[in-house]
Structure 1
């Protein structure tokens, strides 16, 4: 079986990639943070957000930098807020410019 390579910037895709690299089932990852496999599936498909507190546990479990997971988590939250906004891109550009001044 060929492993999928994900090149998107969502937390769900990153978690799926990490899980696939360890050949784990969704229920096995879910057990690490006391949720079921169906919940992990929804997180991987960006249908459900994961609680921020779980990122610490998952970063230790997968042996990855927690800041990387936190960054994707925050990007997902921002994406969720602005995705339905007609002027979302313009608003993000203003914020980006503010941070770069």
Structure 2
């Protein structure tokens, strides 16, 4: 499983001199669960990612981007057409944003 998010989370936690048990307590999860999130064995919920950004004093965008990228990688990692599919998805997202702006 991809783990850019978990690696960054661990790095930030250590930079902030926080123990896993301290962060887990704030998130209202147990320490083994946080450890699994850091190792990429479990996925954090979006709400937890936003909470973690606040705790670690970084932007939501930074952690949400890594979290979402890990999910995309996890879903597409074994697909030969992954890059092509992501290009189609990117084009569709751009189209929808343009359409939304023009309303």
User: Which segments of structure 1 move beyond 4 Å, counting only runs of 4 or more?
Assistant: none
* 1:13-64 alpha-carbon deviations (Å, 9 max, x no partner): 1100111112222111111100111111111111110000112211111111
Aligned residues: 92
Which residue does 2:60 correspond to in 1? Answer: 66
**Which TM-score applies when normalising by structure 2?**
0.77
Write the mapping of 1:5-84 to structure 2, written as runs, cut at 5 A.
10-84=4-78
**Aligned CA-pair RMSD:** 1.9
Write the mapping of 1:86-97 to structure 2, written as runs, cut at 5 A.
86-96=80-90
Structure 1: gaps of 5 or more residues = 1-8
Contact residue 42 and residue 48 of structure 1 kept, 8 A: yes
User: Which one has a larger percent helix, Structure 1 or Structure 2?
Assistant: 2
Q: Which has the higher contact order (CA 8 A, sep 6+)?
A: 2
Structure 2: gaps of 5 or more residues = 96-103
Query: 1:100 deviation in Å?
Result: 7.1
